[in-house]
Amino acid sequence: PKLEFLLTETRGRVGLVTLHRPKALNALCNGLFIELNQVLKDFDDNQDIGAIVITGSERAFAAGADIKEMKDRNFIENYRENFLGDWTKLTQIRKPVIAAVNGFALGGGCELAMMCDIIYAGDKAVFGQPEIKLGILPGAGGTQRLVKAVGKSKAMEMCLTGSVNLTAEEAARAGLVSKVFSPDQVVDEAVKTAEQIANLSQPIVQMIKDAINQSFEIPLSSGLTFERRLFHAAFASKDQKEGMGAFAEKRKANFTHN
């Protein structure tokens, strides 16, 4: 089916999704999320894809949830339909997802980026949680993931004022963003990293993503046990024999994702 709000392509073993609602700075409307969830699921199920990149335009990654679509909603509708419940589907994608952020990543746009596994940013990117200025609060992880990414003081300041935003450089210094590039290079660099990951052993890549995500959910001792179990299990893979064998034989490993 034709997509209304997204562009998709594959580059090698990387699935690239571009948010494409230029007239509204990629405001995240319901239809966009339905399409995004479907496209991500298709990439996740596709064995020829090993990692995913999500990007927007140079002007905006996404300027937030669609305010015009949201403004007349009421409590009962929100509750009955579990409004925003669909947004977290992105966090159930098992393959690594890299956000390539240019321009505005505000409100739900910042939250969407934070649901991804790695964030690369263009040097004009702006990260912020302006919801307070609309009389609401972040509703898709802004009060939770942002704290873990930038610490309490910055997260409080951003969410409570709605006006203090982070530049790409500030976001990188705080740990929210891992690398900053010029705007025209962000997507290519994200795809390059994604391609690198996609050519490593896929089952092991998934174990690593799984283990790191556990660190946000469970106590350290349980996380270390979880990691140890997966570490043991890695030795059941052909890719472990290949990776270590290749090192010993001084050649490049050829992973078969088994």
Residue 111 Cβ vs ligand HXC, minimum distance, rounded to whole Å = 6
Nearer to ligand HXC, 65 or 158 (CB): 65
Residue 20 Cβ vs ligand HXC, minimum distance, rounded to whole Å = 14
**C-alpha span between 145 and 138 (Å, rounded):** 11
In the complex, residue closest to ligand HXC by CB = 107
Nearer to ligand HXC, 104 or 255 (CB): 104
Cα dihedral sign for 175, 179, 182, 183?
A: negative
Residue 8 Cβ vs ligand HXC, minimum distance, rounded to whole Å = 22
Nearer to ligand HXC, 132 or 200 (CB): 132
Catalytic residues, by residue number, are 65, 108, 111, 131
Cα dihedral sign for 162, 168, 174, 179?
A: positive
Q: Kindly tell me the burial class for residue 235, based on how many C-beta atoms sit within 10 Å of its own C-beta (0-12, 13-18, 19 or more).
A: exposed
* 103, 58 Cβ separation under 8 angstroms: yes
Residue 229 Cβ vs ligand HXC, minimum distance, rounded to whole Å = 35
Nearer to ligand HXC, 96 or 162 (CB): 162
Number of Cα atoms under 13 Å in the Cβ half of residue 157: 9
**C-alpha span between 86 and 38 (Å, rounded):** 11
**Cα 129 to Cα 28, 92, 104, 150, distances in angstroms:** 14, 23, 11, 13
The DSSP code for 237 is S
Residue 58 Cβ vs ligand HXC, minimum distance, rounded to whole Å = 13
Residues interacting with ligand HXC, by CB under 6 A?
A: 24-25, 27, 63-68, 84, 87, 104, 106-108, 111, 130-131, 134, 138-140
N-to-C CA span, the chain? 33
Phi, then psi, of 55 in degrees rounded to 5: -140, 175
Nearer to ligand HXC, 50 or 56 (CB): 56
